[in-house]
Amino acid sequence: MTSALITDDERAQLLANGQARAAGQHTDPQPVVRLFTPDAHATWLLAWLDPSDGDTAHGLIDLGIGMPELGQVKLSDLASIVGPRKQPVMRDRYFQAARLLSEYVRLAQANGSVTD
């Protein structure tokens, strides 16, 4: 399954991170991709894909309500979401992770949102 939300390279990295977790490795990877709604303040920093389905992504989810949390979401569900002005979820083409996922989570929970 391909998704317009992530590139082939991002998918490969997300799956590699997911395979490491499925193999029982305790990993704290950097997020691979940042997805967002341009008109609804929601952000997803995704770090791995479940290798069993290739659709369930795991990472930091910030729905713009002040409660960012680690969680999971299906890429296929994200592809169907639109914000109040009918803007779809988009990939931040310029995102480069600057820290580990756990640090993004800590900072987001302290600030009430993903800050970068």
Looking at the domain assignment, is residue 70 inside a domain? Answer: yes
Looking at the domain assignment, is residue 116 inside a domain? Answer: no
Looking at the domain assignment, is residue 3 inside a domain? Answer: no
At residue 2 the predicted structure's pLDDT band, cuts being 50, 70 and 90, is very low
Tell me what pLDDT residue 86 has. Answer: 87
Q: What is the pLDDT of residues 36-58, one digit of tens each?
A: 998 888 999 999 999 999 999 99
Looking at the domain assignment, is residue 14 inside a domain? Answer: yes
Q: Which domain holds residue 90?
A: 8-111
What lies within 8 Å, CB to CB, of 18 at 6+ separation is 48, 49, 50, 51, 58
Tell me what pLDDT residue 1 has. Answer: 40
Total domains in the fold of the chain:
1
Tell me what pLDDT residue 3 has. Answer: 62
Looking at the domain assignment, is residue 53 inside a domain? Answer: yes
The residue-averaged pLDDT of 54-80 equals 94
Q: Three-state secondary structure along 7-61? A: CHHHHHHHHHHHHHHHCCCCCCCCCCEEEECCCCCCEEEEEEECCCCCCEEEEEE
Looking at the domain assignment, is residue 73 inside a domain? Answer: yes
DSSP H or E run through 84 = none
Q: What is the pLDDT of residues 80-112, one digit of tens each?
A: 988 888 889 999 999 999 999 999 999 999 999
DSSP for residue 113: S
Name which of 2, 1, 4 is nearest 91 in CA terms: 4
Measured torsion, CA atoms of residues 21, 53, 8, 105, in degrees rounded to the nearest 10: -50
